[in-house]
Amino acid sequence: MINKRSLWFLTLFSLILVLSIYYITMPSELLLTTGSNNKDNSGNSEPTVSVTESDLLVALRVEADEEMASKIEELQLVLTKTDSSVDEKNKAYEKIKELNDIRGEEEKLESQIKETYKLNSFIKINDNQISVTVENDKHDTTLANNIMRTIQANYNDSKYITVKFQK
C-alpha cells in the first residue's frame, strides 16, 4: 500500500524528472537568448556568449553518465529482487560500489589535469585502460607525455593511458 510520504516522493520525483528532461531537450538557442534589447558599450546588438567547455566533452560526459546509470540501474534491480541469492546481491552491491569509485577517480583525475595544465578534459577508465580526451587546438606530444605521467603517478601498477586532443 502506498502511504502519503511515498506518494509525495513519487510525485516530486516525477516532476523533477519531467523538468530535467524538458531542460535537456530544450533548444540551445532558447537558453542563449537573453533579450533583443541587450547592447554593450560599442553599440553592437549581438549578445556575448562565452562557453567554458566544448560540446564534445559534454557529449562524452553525458554518454558515460548514461551508460553508468544504466549499469547501476540493472544492478539495483538485482538488489531489489526477492528471488536473488545473497551472493548475487553482494556481487551487485560490490559492482555498484566499484562503479562509483571509478567515477570518483575519473573526476579526481579531470580536476588534477584542470589544476595542473589549465585544460578541460574527459577521462574514461576501463579496467587498466585510461582514455583521456583533452580540449586543445594543438596536438602537443610533450603535453601528452606530461599528462600520461601525471595520471600514472596516481597508480602503483602500470596503466595503458591514451591522450587524444580535440577542439
Whose CA is closest to 135, among 99, 167, 91? 167
Is the pLDDT at 144 greater than 80, yes or no?
A: yes
Indicate whether 102 belongs to any domain.
yes
Q: Is residue 133 part of a domain?
A: yes
Domain membership of residue 60 (yes or no) is: yes
Confidence of residue 145 (pLDDT cuts 50, 70, 90): very high
DSSP SS3 for 166: strand
Q: Does 41 reside within a domain? A: no
Task: Give a yes or no: residue 21 inside a domain.
Answer: no
3-state DSSP call for residue 162? strand
Q: What is the DSSP letter of 143?
A: H
166, 133 Cβ separation under 8 angstroms: yes
Cα gap 160→145, rounded to integer Å: 12
pLDDT tens for residues 50-97? 545 567 888 888 898 899 999 989 988 888 888 888 899 899 899 999
The structural domain count of the chain equals 1
Q: Please give the Cα distance from 30 to 50 (Å, whole number).
A: 15
Mean pLDDT of the chain: 83
Query: What number is the average pLDDT over the span 6-30?
Result: 80
- For residue 24, tell me if it sits in a domain: no
| Residues spanned by the domain of 134 | 52-166
Show the cell assigned to 44.
Answer: 553592437
Q: Is residue 30 part of a domain?
A: no
Contact 82, 67 (CB under 8 A): no
Q: Residue 62 falls within a domain, yes or no?
A: yes
What pTM value is reported for the model? 0.63
pLDDT of residue 155: 92
Find, among 91, 88, 93, 143, the residue nearest to 118 by Cα: 143
Check which CATH number belongs to the domain holding 131 and give it: 1.10.287.4300
Q: What kind and span of H or E run contains 125?
A: strand 121-126
Task: Take residue 99 and report the three cell numbers written for it.
Answer: 562503479
Residue 106, CA atoms < 13 Å, CB-side half-sphere: 24
The pLDDT score that the predictor gives to residue 110 is 92
Residue-wise pLDDT tens digits, 152-164 = 999 999 999 999 9
Comparing C-alpha atoms, which of 150, 83, 89, 142 is closest to residue 123?
Answer: 150
Do residues 78 and 84 touch, judged by C-beta distance below 8 A? yes
